[in-house]
């Protein structure tokens, strides 16, 4: 009988700050039971932060949360669950226990919190309850299967099922469709519709505009930690959404230079990596900076890795300076004159336990080795010192460990390694991620400097101002394919974002 | 006031830092002082030589293990490889009447084949090195047992046919396992691997692979090739250890190399922290072996029963590991 009156969730004047960042400033948000609410915004707009506040992940916000008109003081995940707010994060694996069965994972919360004085697990009942939840959701997953054997989509279903075992009045789905195939997305949508019919309010974070229009009734658009628009989704056309997401224009932090562009120096033909990249063709001229645009999960990183031979399952032709290259491994790629500055700096780009000097010379160690192996510390030191000075890396000495440098300086080390290598083709994957403003400008100048020296530069980024400020041309990726090739000076953030979100020109 | 707190913190930090860098050496000094005063003859030249001789086989085997640790691997099969090398080299002389060079060459070749097998299994199946080499450890141990038919090989042994074995172990071979050669071999192995790991391109690559395999791959280092090289070296030094062992005892006992595995592991891990290297290193491994050698020798001289020795050895290892990992967490 409670179901008759739709549940109502209101967040009022929510603000939250982290060291150095005001992540949310006075955001109002409201959602209703029985409806799906789209939450959208560019990277760093604060949508995930807002939902984490709602889920009790951050306790130090200001503002109030009301559920059904009653104030609900949510400060911990437990509070949120008690008030019927459940969240399924994008990284499903962090919330699942892979070596337990589906049933155990679904009933996890209940097993932990509702056992009271009982010491024994009733396996029959556990599986029956889990089965009942799955049937209610109309999902077929065997309850005795181990979670580690499931597909990503099935894992999501298990997590949603876990939410259903609790009081679930509002369900937050954080970019649930990013890793899903078309068919899996369809199944998820069916489930969302079912939940709506049961009176659950679904809050749906996504970058993909078309699907938001398909499944959601309402929309909230955020930008720079603030609310921009809240309305019924049908009343806002797609290009308008994009316009709202953007706002403030770029400032003059990009190096301005006329570039002299030469012949095609780098070409990739029909690059395919099953499930990640699908038939990509691209070409970069000497002295040209080519952008690789696309949202998180569009396949930019996967493409970069495939081009660099870092994905064994990738196929396709790579041509450097007219010569076809056999790229079976990054080792081959480096010998062929390619360089990759990877996205995950600490995991893939630098050796945090080694010194700055050892990091800088890592890719060209042979140059400092007599008879092919005997290292000359003196030569190494000189080269490292020169690179440290020219990149302005802030480090006490070239013997300091990279672990002790700031993110921006670590990134400069990761780039410096390849500058010493003097490659023909430079691939950058989100090089300014997690880097402060000053270091960002330095990195832009480095990239522009490479182009000025006649190198081919491929620059993958999900930051639109960066792409517009730095590149000559760009390819827009969506779902592992190249949607569109754009000339930078004739395009706009709106246009890039439209293609990035799977939209098509009018 | 704030600076006083900072100062105190820094001093506390420095003590940990100092312990970390020089703790092992300090322990050795303390042990030498204690044993030197309590046990007569501990500091005699002959006893020092005795200690060095007693640790040389462990050290050689531990150095091989160190190389496998440097690439982020863990070769548990070194003890078994030493056993097999021991059995092969003695049998070459005793059973087959081969000369010095053939005997040693065959033993080394078989060990390199073991290294190849280990590297192949570890790199192609993505199984944790320690688990994979645990399996090969058993296989090699079994192979050695099968080869010797579970018997000790020695000069003039009774063959299955009922005759006596006629082959002789060359006189020169017995030199390898006696002073000074056994110590010289150990020092050469330590020095050359130390130089290899610290002053050559290849050593640098190995440490980078051990530190961050993904970054090493994306830097263009041929990761698989270097891991293969590391396992070859590891098996090679295990083989040398087994040959020296054979020369020392002049027989091939059942599972003769097995007891050296755990001492080698202990030496290599104690060695991590020596001079603050923070990673497997040849010199540190040597120091670790010296520490274990001094402990065993001194405890024997103090008449501590042999069956209680492992308690002390284990405690020292626990202490060394505690310091290494404490430092890692608080770096």
In a domain, A208, yes or no: yes
- Name all contacts of B317-320 with Cβ < 8 Å and 24+ positions apart: B317/B266, B317/B269, B317/B270, B320/B23, B320/B24, B320/B269, B320/B270, B320/B272, B320/B273, B320/B288
User: Do B217 and A310 make contact, defined as CB atoms within 8 angstroms?
Assistant: yes
Percentage of chain A beyond pLDDT 70 is: 95
**CB contact, 8 Å: B214 with chain A?**
yes
Tell me: do A279 and A157 sit in the same domain: no
Q: Do B200 and A375 touch (CB under 8 A)?
A: yes
If asked whether residues A144 and A35 sit together in one domain, one would say yes
A347: helix, coil or strand? helix
| Contact across the interface for B219 and A352, Cβ inside 8 Å | no
Assigned domain for A254 exists: no
Per DSSP, A163 falls in state: H
Residue B12 is predicted with a pLDDT of: 58
- For B275-281, the CB contacts below 8 A with 24+ separation are B275/B21, B275/B22, B276/B17, B276/B20, B276/B21, B278/A353, B278/B324, B278/B327, B278/B328, B279/A353, B279/B70, B279/B207, B279/B210, B279/B211, B280/B66, B280/B67, B280/B69, B280/B70, B280/B210, B281/B66, B281/B70, B281/B194, B281/B197, B281/B198
Residues A188 and A289 in one domain: no
Q: Do A347 and B215 touch (CB under 8 A)?
A: yes
pLDDT exceeds cutoff 60 at B10: no
pLDDT at residue number B13: 61
Residues of A in contact with B279 (CB under 8 A): 353
Looking up tokens 């006596």 gives B164
Q: Residue A401: helix, strand or coil by DSSP?
A: strand
Say if the Cβ atoms of B220 and A352 lie within 8 Å: no
Which residue of chain A is at minimal alpha-carbon distance from B196?
Answer: A374
- Tokens 């000495």: give the residue: A397
Q: Which of A76, A57, A67 is nearest to A11 (CA)?
A: A67
Among B residues 268-287, those touching chain A with beta carbons less than 8 Å apart: 278-279
Average pLDDT over all residues of chain A: 87
Q: Do A315 and A207 fall into the same domain?
A: no
Q: What pLDDT is recorded for position B288?
A: 93
Residue A258 domain flag: no
Chain B nearest CA to A344, separation (Å)? 9
Is the predicted ipTM greater than 0.90, yes or no? no
Judge if A209 and A268 occupy the same domain.
no
Which residues on neighbouring strands pair with residue A33, listed in sequence order? Answer: none
Identify the weakest region by mean pLDDT among A27-31, A190-194, A240-244, B167-171. A240-244
Average pLDDT over residues B149-169: 87
**Rounded Cα gap, residues A264 and A321, in angstroms:** 7
Q: From A246, A281, A302, give the residue that closes a domain.
A: A246
Q: Which of A331, A363, A400 is most worth mutating to test chain B (most B CB atoms within 10 A of its CB)?
A: A331
pLDDT digits (tens, 9 = 90+) for A451-484: 999 999 999 998 888 898 899 999 999 889 999 9
Facing residues of A65 across strands? A11
Distance separating the N- and C-terminal Cα atoms of chain B: 25
What own/partner pairs with CB < 8 Å and gap ≥ 24 does A251-259 have? Answer: A253/A437, A253/A440, A253/A441, A253/A444, A253/A469, A254/A444, A254/A448, A254/A469, A254/A470, A255/A444, A255/A445, A255/A448, A257/A448, A257/A452, A259/A287, A259/A288, A259/A289, A259/A451, A259/A452, A259/A472
* Domain membership flag for residue A259: no
How far is Cα A131 from Cα A142, in angstroms, rounded to an integer?
8
Whether residue A249 has pLDDT greater than 80? no
- What's the length of chain B? 331
* 3-class DSSP state of A220: strand
**Quick one: tokens of A379?**
């030569």
Chain A residues near residue B17 by CB distance under 8 angstroms: none
A–B interface: beta-carbon pairs under 8 A: 75
Residues of A at the B interface, defined by Cβ within 8 angstroms:
308, 310, 329-331, 333-335, 340, 342, 347-354, 358, 362-363, 365-366, 368-369, 372-375, 403, 417
Averaged pLDDT of chain B: 89
Distance from CA of B205 to the nearest CA of A (A): 8
CATH classification at residue A163: 3.40.50.300
Whether A373 sits inside 8 A of B204 (CB atoms) is no
* Residue B16 zone, left/alpha/beta (φ > 0; ψ -120 to 50; rest): alpha
Q: Predicted confidence band at A357 (pLDDT cuts at 50, 70, 90)?
A: very high
Q: Tell me which of A330, A335, A424 to substitute to probe the interface with B (most B C-beta atoms closer than 10 Å).
A: A330
Angstroms from B224 CA to nearest CA on chain A: 10
Residues A84 and A197 in one domain: yes
Chain B residue closest to A367 (CA)? B201
Decide if pLDDT at B268 tops 60.
yes
| B216 touches A: beta carbon within 8 Å | yes
Sign of CA dihedral B203, B206, B210, B213: positive
Count up the domains in chain A and report the number.
2
Asked if residue A257 belongs to a domain, the reply is: no
Whole-number Cα distances in Å, A293 to A16, A123, A195, A506, B194 = 30, 50, 35, 20, 48
Residues A162 and A294 in one domain: no
Distance from CA of A79 to the nearest CA of B (A): 33
> Would A506 be classed as within a structural domain?
no
In the predicted structure, residue B59 carries a pLDDT above the cut 80: yes
Greater model confidence, A190 or A370: A190
B213–A contact, CB cutoff 8 A: no
pLDDT for B330 equals: 63
pLDDT surpassing 60 at residue A449: yes
Say if the Cβ atoms of A308 and B216 lie within 8 Å: no
A150 and A21, same structural domain?
yes
List CB contacts (< 8 A) between A347 and chain B.
Answer: 212, 214-215
Tokens at residue B330, please? 């608080």
A64 with A186, same domain: the answer is yes
C-alpha distances in Å from residue A396, one per residue of A355, A356, A415 = 11, 10, 19
Q: How confident is the model at residue B329 (pLDDT cuts 50, 70, 90)?
A: low
Query: Which of B:30-89 have CB within 8 Å of A?
Result: none
- Tokens standing for A71? 């104030």
pLDDT confidence bin for A2, thresholds 50/70/90: very low
B305 CB neighbour count, 10 Å cutoff: 8
Query: Among residues A21, A432, A497, A422, which one has the least CA distance to residue A254?
Result: A432
Substitution target from B194, B220, B329 for chain A, most A beta carbons within 10 A: B220
Structure tokens at A113: 């919190």
Domain coverage including residue A16: 2-246
Looking at residue B105, its pLDDT comes to: 97
Sheet holding A8-18, edge to edge: A21-32, A8-18, A62-67, A70-71
Q: A235 and A348: one domain?
A: no
**Assigned domain for A252 exists:** no
Burial B307-330 (b: 16+ CB within 10 A, else e): eeeeeebeebbeebeebbeebeee
Same domain, A310 and A454: yes
Domain B39-329 = CATH 1.10.8? no
Which of B201, B278, B331 is closest, CB to CB, to A366? Answer: B201
Q: What is the pLDDT of residue B315?
A: 87
Mean pLDDT computed over A151-170: 89
- What's the pTM value of the predicted model, to 2 decimals? 0.79
Mutation target among A304, A362, A417 for the B interface, most CBs of B within 10 A: A362
B243-263 average pLDDT score: 93
Name the helix (H) or strand (E) containing A108.
Answer: helix A108-113
Nearest to A203, CA basis, from A194, A214, A215:
A215
In a domain, A251, yes or no: no
Contact by Cβ (8 Å): B238, A373: no
- Confidence check: pLDDT of A42 > 80: no
Q: Which residues pair with A487 in a beta bridge?
A: A473
B5 touches chain A (CB under 8 A): no
């Amino acid at each position: 009988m409670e179901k008759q009156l739709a549940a109502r969730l209101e967040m009022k004047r929510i603000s939250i700050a982290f060291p150095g960042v005001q992540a949310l400033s006075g955001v109002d948000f409201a959602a209703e039971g029985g409806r799906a609410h789209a939450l959208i915004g560019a990277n760093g707009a604060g949508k995930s932060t807002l939902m984490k506040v709602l889920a009790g992940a951050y306790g130090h916000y200001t503002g109030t949360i009301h559920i059904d008109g009653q104030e609900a003081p949510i400060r911990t995940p437990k509070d949120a669950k008690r008030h019927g707010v459940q969240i399924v994060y994008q990284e499903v694996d962090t919330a699942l226990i892979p070596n337990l069965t589906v049933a155990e994972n679904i009933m996890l919360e209940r097993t932990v919190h509702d056992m009271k004085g009982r010491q024994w697990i009733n396996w029959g009942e556990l599986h029956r309850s889990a089965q009942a939840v799955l049937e209610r959701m109309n999902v077929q997953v065997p309850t005795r299967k181990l979670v580690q054997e499931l597909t990503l989509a099935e894992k999501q279903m298990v997590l949603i099922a876990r939410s259903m075992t609790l009081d679930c009045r509002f369900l937050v789905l954080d970019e649930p469709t990013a890793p899903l195939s078309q068919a899996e997305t369809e199944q998820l949508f069916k489930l969302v519709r079912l939940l709506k019919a049961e009176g659950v309010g679904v809050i749906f974070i996504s970058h993909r505009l078309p699907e938001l229009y398909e499944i959601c009734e309402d929309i909230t658009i955020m930008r720079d930690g603030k609310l921009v628009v809240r309305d019924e989704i049908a009343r806002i056309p797609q290009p308008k959404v994009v316009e709202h997401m953007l706002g403030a224009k770029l400032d003059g932090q990009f190096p301005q230079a006329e570039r002299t562009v030469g012949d095609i120096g780098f070409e990739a033909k029909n690059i395919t990596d099953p499930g990640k990249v699908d038939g990509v063709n691209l070409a970069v001229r000497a002295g040209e900076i080519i952008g690789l645009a696309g949202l998180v999960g569009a396949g930019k990183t996967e493409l970069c890795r495939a081009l660099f031979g870092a994905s064994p399952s990738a196929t396709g032709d790579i041509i450097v300076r007219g010569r076809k290259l056999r790229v079976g491994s990054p080792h081959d790629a480096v010998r062929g004159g390619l360089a990759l500055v990877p996205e995950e700096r600490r995991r893939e780009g630098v050796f945090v336990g080694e010194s700055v000097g050892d990091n800088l010379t890592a890719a060209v160690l042979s140059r400092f080795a007599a008879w092919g192996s005997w290292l000359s510390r003196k030569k190494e030191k000189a080269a490292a010192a020169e690179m440290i000075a020219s990149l302005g890396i802030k480090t006490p000495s070239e013997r300091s460990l990279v672990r002790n440098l700031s993110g921006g300086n670590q990134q400069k080390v990761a780039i410096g390694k390849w500058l010493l290598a003097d490659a023909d083709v430079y691939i950058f994957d989100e090089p300014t991620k997690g880097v402060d403003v000053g270091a960002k400008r330095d990195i832009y100048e480095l990239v522009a400097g490479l182009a000025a020296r006649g190198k081919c530069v491929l620059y993958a980024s999900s930051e639109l101002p960066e792409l517009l400020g730095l590149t000559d041309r760009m390819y827009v990726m969506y779902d592992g394919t190249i949607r569109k090739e754009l000339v930078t000076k004739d395009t706009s953030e709106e246009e890039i974002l439209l293609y990035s979100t799977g939209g098509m020109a009018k | 006031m704030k600076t006083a707190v900072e100062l105190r913190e820094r001093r506390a930090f420095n003590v940990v830092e100092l312990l970390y860098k020089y703790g092992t050496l300090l322990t050795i000094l303390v042990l030498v002082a204690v044993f030197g005063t309590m046990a007569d003859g501990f500091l005699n030249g002959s006893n020092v030589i005795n200690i060095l001789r007693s640790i040389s086989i462990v050290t050689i085997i531990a150095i091989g293990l160190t190389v496998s640790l440097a690439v982020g691997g863990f070769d548990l099969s070194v003890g078994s490889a030493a056993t097999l090398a021991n059995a092969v080299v003695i049998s070459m002389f005793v059973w087959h009447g081969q000369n010095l060079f053939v005997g040693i060459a065959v033993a080394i070749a078989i060990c390199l084949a073991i290294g190849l097998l280990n590297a192949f299994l570890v790199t192609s199946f993505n199984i944790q090195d320690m688990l994979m080499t645990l399996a090969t450890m058993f296989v090699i141990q079994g192979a050695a047992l099968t080869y010797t038919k579970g018997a000790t090989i020695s000069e003039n042994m009774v063959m299955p046919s009922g005759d006596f074995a006629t082959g002789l172990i060359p006189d020169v071979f017995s030199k390898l396992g006696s002073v000074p050669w056994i110590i010289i071999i150990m020092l050469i192995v330590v020095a050359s691997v130390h130089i290899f790991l610290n002053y050559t391109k290849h050593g640098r690559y190995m440490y980078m692979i051990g530190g961050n395999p993904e970054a090493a791959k994306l830097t263009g280092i041929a990761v698989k090739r270097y891991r293969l090289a590391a396992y070859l070296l590891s098996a090679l030094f295990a083989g040398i250890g087994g040959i020296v062992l054979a020369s020392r005892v002049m027989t091939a006992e059942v599972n003769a190399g097995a007891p050296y595995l755990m001492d080698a592991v202990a030496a290599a891990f104690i060695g991590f922290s020596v001079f603050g290297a923070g990673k497997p290193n040849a010199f540190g491994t040597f120091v670790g072996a010296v520490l274990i050698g001094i402990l065993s020798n001194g405890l024997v001289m103090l008449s501590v029963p042999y069956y209680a020795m492992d308690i002390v050895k284990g405690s020292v290892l626990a202490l060394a590991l505690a310091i290494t990992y404490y430092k890692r967490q608080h770096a």
